[in-house]
Amino acid sequence: MLKKALFFSTPFCLSLRNNQMIINTKEMPDMQRSVPIEDIGFVILEHQQTSITLPLLNALSDNNVAVIFCGDNFMPNAMLMNLDSNKTQGESYRAQIEASEPLKKGLWKQIVEAKIRNQAALLNKLGKNGERLKPYYTNVKSGDSDNREGVAAKIYWGELFGEDFIRSREGVEPNNMLNYGYTLLRAAVARSLMGSGLFPAFGIFHRNRYNAFPLADDIMEPYRPYVDEIVFDLYANGERKLTKDVKSQLLRLLFTDTVFGKITRPLDVGLTMTSASLAKCFSGIQKKISYPLLE
């Protein structure tokens, strides 16, 4: 079932009644609407005067809803994460923790291949030279020991936004839009990992003592081009700032079609397929992570 994404950029009062999210304002308490908790997948709280009750937060957590809190700069800052979202969580955690280095290097090889392949597909889709990346996704070594990902990235960004563009969290536009889109994607990936019984804090390749979601950073890599495509279109149409409309369009990322062979699913559903396949890789049931090919 495709879940709803709710974005609150004005000061609403959010509470729980009969397993429904109740949405109203202090100025007009009688003017309210309700949304079934089971229909919600994402809640983004941007306005600093938004109020939300603890029973509602617990109900959202129990249903594995990604609740994203924005800071004073209106950028996503934190996320509510359920600690018991899968019935076989303990078993999955053990398989994940005990994964051997050869297994993790093999998984990272698959991730890098899928990422560069999707980068090439996006460039070709936009009428640019994606063929330049073919030698990189066809020759990835175990663990990407010769950093094909990094070399391909330089070519990719130069083709996508011009040779002068530098991808950086603190860089000039459209880095601001890329940052926002990637943060949404990261939260969605973390949610899908938890739903598959995996712990986002145990990464495959990404390791940083200050990073709470390194596994999400690993698994999201092949999905980044889906963000890049939206940002490219926004930038080509003259958008430079993170307006409410731009954020709304970036949020539609979650409903973008992803293609797994002959199966097409919204990105949010596709993430569950990827996370479930990763859990099976850790447990030894299968050897390949399921990733979509951008079309």
The answer to whether the beta carbons of residues 136 and 151 sit under 8 Å apart is: yes
**Would you say residue 66 has pLDDT above 80?**
yes
- Which pLDDT does position 89 carry in this prediction? 66
**Would you say residue 83 has pLDDT above 80?**
no
| Contacts with 273 (C-beta within 8 Å, 6 or more apart), sequence order | 260, 265, 290
CA–CA distances in Å: residue 44 to residues 74, 103, 146, 183: 10, 35, 39, 11
Phi, psi values for residue 152, rounded to 5°: -65, -35
- pTM for the full predicted model: 0.89
**Would you say residue 210 has pLDDT above 70?**
no
Average pLDDT over residues 249-266: 96
Average pLDDT over residues 75-89: 73
Q: In the chain, what are the domains?
A: 4-80 (3.100.10.20), 89-283 (1.20.120.920)
Q: Of all residues in the chain, what percent carry a pLDDT higher than 70?
A: 96
- Which pLDDT does position 209 carry in this prediction? 55
**Would you say residue 30 has pLDDT above 80?**
no
Q: Give me the torsion for CA of 75, 25, 253, 104, rounded to 10°.
A: 60
Average pLDDT over residues 236-240: 96
**Per-residue confidence at 157, pLDDT binned at 50, 70, 90?**
very high
Please list the helix, strand and coil fractions of the chain in percent, rounded to the nearest 5, in that order: 50, 15, 35
53/128 Cα distance (integer angstroms): 49
- Which pLDDT does position 37 carry in this prediction? 96
- Which pLDDT does position 172 carry in this prediction? 94
**Would you say residue 42 has pLDDT above 80?**
yes
Average pLDDT over residues 187-200: 90
**Per-residue confidence at 206, pLDDT binned at 50, 70, 90?**
confident
Which of 206-215, 237-246, 255-264 is predicted with the least confidence, judged by mean pLDDT? 206-215
**Would you say residue 87 has pLDDT above 70?**
no
243/221 Cα distance (integer angstroms): 26
Which of 154-158, 186-190, 270-274 is predicted with the least confidence, judged by mean pLDDT? 186-190
**Per-residue confidence at 2, pLDDT binned at 50, 70, 90?**
confident
**Per-residue confidence at 17, pLDDT binned at 50, 70, 90?**
very high
Which of 78-82, 179-183, 204-208, 272-276 is predicted with the least confidence, judged by mean pLDDT? 204-208
**Per-residue confidence at 85, pLDDT binned at 50, 70, 90?**
low
Average pLDDT over residues 82-95: 71
- Which pLDDT does position 1 carry in this prediction? 66
